[in-house]
């Protein structure tokens, strides 16, 4: 499954969140990379957002980032690729997110904008892992 959208400016909280030791350790354990301290924010097209909502509702085995205490909420993730760059989409409960629901945050081991020579406003494609799509729970 491909999700399409445009790159939008974030609010800067991803850098803080991805610098937390418990987050870095869990991303490393779940996905095998240390996250770049910042997310790529993508505003999904209307069609991709509809597919994303269905995907999010049907998946039963999303990987969770579980905080050590009640200071933070549990976030859910699933593997993706942008080009050949591995990453994951991080889903934060809407009551804790500062983004509209059609904006997804992608975590990766590198700054995707630099690696792929992209900028705010560029169109982008996010490939959802086949493993997720073929999940018998979907």
**36 in a structural domain:** yes
Which pairs count as long-range contacts for 49-58, CB under 8 Å and 24+ apart, including other chains? 49/101, 49/102, 51/1, 51/3, 52/3, 52/102, 52/104, 55/1, 55/128, 55/132, 55/138, 56/91, 58/137, 58/138
Q: What mean pLDDT do residues 94-99 have?
A: 72
Q: How confident is the model at residue 138 (pLDDT cuts 50, 70, 90)?
A: very low
List the CATH number of the domain containing 110.
2.40.30.30
Q: What mean pLDDT do residues 67-92 have?
A: 90
Q: Residue 51: which domain range?
A: 2-133
Query: How many domains, the chain?
Result: 1
Q: State pLDDT tens for residues 8-34.
A: 998 877 888 899 999 999 999 999 999
**73 in a structural domain:** yes
**138 in a structural domain:** no
**91 in a structural domain:** yes
pTM, two decimals, is: 0.89
Q: What mean pLDDT do residues 56-77 have?
A: 83
**101 in a structural domain:** yes
């Amino acid at each position: 499954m491909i999700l399409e959208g445009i790159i939008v400016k974030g609010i800067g909280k991803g850098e803080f969140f991805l610098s937390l030791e418990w987050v870095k350790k869990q991303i490393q354990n779940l996905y095998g990379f240390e996250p770049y301290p910042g997310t790529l924010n993508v505003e999904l097209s209307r069609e991709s957002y509809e597919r994303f909502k269905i995907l999010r509702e049907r998946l039963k085995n999303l990987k969770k980032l579980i905080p050590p205490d009640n200071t933070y909420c549990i976030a859910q993730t699933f593997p993706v690729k942008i080009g050949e760059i591995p990453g994951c989409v991080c889903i934060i409960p809407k009551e804790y997110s500062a983004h509209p629901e059609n904006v997804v945050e992608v975590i990766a081991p590198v700054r995707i904008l630099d690696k792929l020579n992209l900028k705010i406003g560029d169109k982008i494609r996010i490939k959802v892992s086949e493993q997720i799509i073929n999940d018998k729970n979907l």
